[in-house]
């Protein structure tokens, strides 16, 4: 652990390492005091970056390449954002996932029976997700995934109602797609994708690796189908992945807080 955190600043025993070491040694209850002590150390040690040398910068790039890549990407997309022409209000939204699946959309539009079959299979996958999440609670007595799904769908409802996006152009509905019956649904964000991520994360915790890989593969196919049928925008699906990760983490913290109180 100590080797992974070196070279974020020039000192080998830098502030972050001391904070992490104190956290590991003293535990969570001592962490706020550690932050206070380190804040006092900042005032004593002066401004951190003024002590950097060229070797420290090179070591930071060597030991932490991923944040450096993110920094470059941030600068790149700042340039893209500030020079890109905005989509006019009279034009349909630009969606790179729709461009990538343009031929699939045309293919499925000309084959409604195949579209219905794929929609039915997707609904079966949703039933698999739901069954697994409920099984972990009702049968195995582990409520984390169920709590996570409740968090996720609640916030999806709030956000989906707050910003109601227009139905994408070229949408291919099906009476057997979930929600069954061609009823209305929120576009942002994808509950299909988020629930699959929640189930997959639980499978990994329980070392059910094969089942997790199957769910991940089916989720990827689900993403392609939802883009091809214009059932979701790309951002709905990407945020769905993030929502699954976020609410699984929050559910874990919720469980920990209840354990500590008891």
Average pLDDT over residues 106-124: 96
Q: Are residues 10 and 40 in the same domain?
A: yes
Q: Are residues 208 and 124 in the same domain?
A: yes
Q: Is the pLDDT of residue 47 over 90?
A: no
User: Which position has the higher pLDDT, 23 or 56?
Assistant: 56
Q: Are residues 111 and 232 in the same domain?
A: yes
In the chain, the N- to C-terminal Cα span, in Å, equals 31
Rounded-to-integer distance, Cα 84 and Cα 38, Å: 43
Per-residue pLDDT, 191? 94
- 189 inside domain: yes
**232 in catalytic set:** yes
Tokens of 153: 């769908």
Tokens of 105: 């959309």
Domain count, the chain: 2
- Which residues span the domain enclosing 73? 2-82
Active-site option among 7, 202, 232, 248: 232
Active-site option among 7, 95, 177, 192: 192
Q: Is the pLDDT of residue 25 over 70?
A: no
Is pTM beyond 0.85? Reply is no
DSSP state of 178: S
- Report whether 256 contacts 262 (CB < 8 A): no
Per-residue pLDDT, 8? 46
Q: Are residues 67 and 136 in the same domain?
A: no
Q: Is the pLDDT of residue 4 over 90?
A: no
- 90 inside domain: no
User: Which position has the higher pLDDT, 85 or 15?
Assistant: 85
- 91 inside domain: no
User: Which position has the higher pLDDT, 26 or 182?
Assistant: 182
- Report whether 210 contacts 261 (CB < 8 A): no
Q: Is the pLDDT of residue 162 over 70?
A: yes
Q: Are residues 31 and 151 in the same domain?
A: no
Q: Give the angle 209-97-94 at the CA atoms, nearest 5°.
A: 150
Q: Are residues 177 and 139 in the same domain?
A: yes
Q: What is the pLDDT of residues 125-137, one digit of tens each?
A: 999 999 999 999 9
Q: Are residues 59 and 103 in the same domain?
A: no
Q: Are residues 114 and 203 in the same domain?
A: yes
- Phi, psi (5° rounding) for residue 182? 55, 40
Q: What is the pLDDT of residues 175-210, one digit of tens each?
A: 888 887 667 888 899 999 999 999 999 999 999 999
Q: Are residues 71 and 128 in the same domain?
A: no
Tokens 């932050």 correspond to: 35
- 103 inside domain: yes
- 56 inside domain: yes
Q: Is the pLDDT of residue 227 over 90?
A: yes
Of the candidates 82, 113, 133, which is a domain's last residue?
Answer: 82
Q: Are residues 106 and 77 in the same domain?
A: no
- 87 inside domain: no
Q: Are residues 112 and 71 in the same domain?
A: no
- 192 inside domain: yes
Q: Is the pLDDT of residue 31 over 90?
A: no
Q: Are residues 72 and 108 in the same domain?
A: no
Per-residue pLDDT, 208? 97
The backbone region for 179, taken as left when phi is positive above 0, alpha when psi lies in -120 to 50, beta otherwise, is beta
- 16 inside domain: yes
């Amino acid at each position: 652990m100590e080797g992974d955190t070196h070279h974020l600043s020039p000192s080998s025993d830098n502030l972050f390492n001391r904070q992490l070491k104190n956290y590991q040694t003293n535990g969570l209850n001592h962490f706020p005091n550690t932050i206070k002590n380190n804040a006092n150390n900042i005032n004593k040690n002066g401004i951190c970056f003024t002590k950097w040398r060229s070797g420290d910068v090179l070591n930071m790039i060597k030991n932490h390449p991923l944040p450096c890549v993110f920094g470059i990407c941030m600068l790149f997309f700042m340039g893209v954002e500030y020079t890109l022409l905005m989509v006019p209000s009279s034009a349909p939204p630009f969606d790179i996932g729709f461009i990538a699946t343009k031929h699939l959309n045309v293919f499925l539009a000309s084959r409604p029976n195949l579209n219905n079959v794929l929609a039915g299979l997707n609904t079966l996958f949703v039933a698999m997700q739901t069954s697994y999440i409920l099984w972990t609670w009702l049968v195995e007595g582990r409520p984390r995934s169920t709590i996570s799904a409740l968090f996720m769908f609640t916030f999806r409802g709030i956000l989906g109602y707050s910003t109601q996006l227009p139905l994408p152009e070229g949408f291919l509905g099906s009476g057997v797609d979930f929600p069954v019956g061609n009823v209305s649904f929120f576009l942002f964000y994808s509950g299909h994708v988020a629930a699959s991520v929640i189930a997959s994360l639980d499978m990994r915790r329980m070392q059910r690796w094969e089942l997790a890989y199957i769910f991940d593969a089916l989720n990827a196919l689900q993403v392609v189908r939802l883009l091809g049928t214009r059932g979701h925008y790309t951002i709905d699906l990407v945020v769905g992945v993030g929502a699954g990760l976020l609410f699984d983490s929050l559910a874990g913290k919720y469980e920990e807080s209840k354990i500590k109180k008891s």
